[in-house]
Amino acid sequence: MVPEINYWAVLIATASSMVVGSIWYAPKVFGTRWAKLAGVDMDRPGASAVLPIIITVIVSFITAWVLAGATAIAWHFYGGGFLLSAVATAVALWAGFTAARFITHDVFEGRPSSLTLMNIAHEVVTVLIMAIIIGVWPPAGTV
């Protein structure tokens, strides 16, 4: 079975991750604290952020695409509403993969727990917004 995917929803979900990140890591939100905890120099030239932004767009697309596919599979398996399937799938994937891996790496790297919490909270907000977009815009013919 190849899951049905609405690629427009995936593209909008990808863009939403950039919006969430821009707000989350803004200096007046969590950016200054994050930079201090992560040891990131916020005064570096803007051009040095180009490659990380390009990589972020690519991996955000992959995240949205996997979430859309996993949501379609979960919806076919469990039934119910597509939006609920998207949100439940996002939370399960976030907890089982993203949060668990962040915690593991950060513990071994000796990172502050407050940095870990800030980063995994950002990730759950990101995937939940992606899930809402994907969930309210299911592939044609599925619901």
Q: How do residues 99-128 score in pLDDT, each as one tens digit?
A: 999 999 999 999 999 999 999 999 999 999
Per residue in 21-73, pLDDT (tens digit) is 999 999 999 999 999 999 988 777 665 788 889 999 999 999 999 999 999 99
Per residue in 72-101, pLDDT (tens digit) is 999 999 999 999 999 999 999 999 999 999
Give pTM, 2 decimals: 0.92
92: which 2 tokens?
Answer: 């399960």
- pLDDT at position 23: 97
Do residues 6 and 138 make contact, with C-beta atoms less than 8 angstroms apart? yes
CA 48/CA 46 separation, integer angstroms: 5
- pLDDT at position 136: 97
CA torsion through residues 55, 58, 64, 68, sign: negative
Q: Categorize the per-residue pLDDT at 132 as very low, low, confident or very high, splitting at 50, 70 and 90.
A: very high
- pLDDT at position 135: 96
76: which 2 tokens?
Answer: 């076919």
- pLDDT at position 1: 62
State the amino acid at position 13 in one-letter form.
A
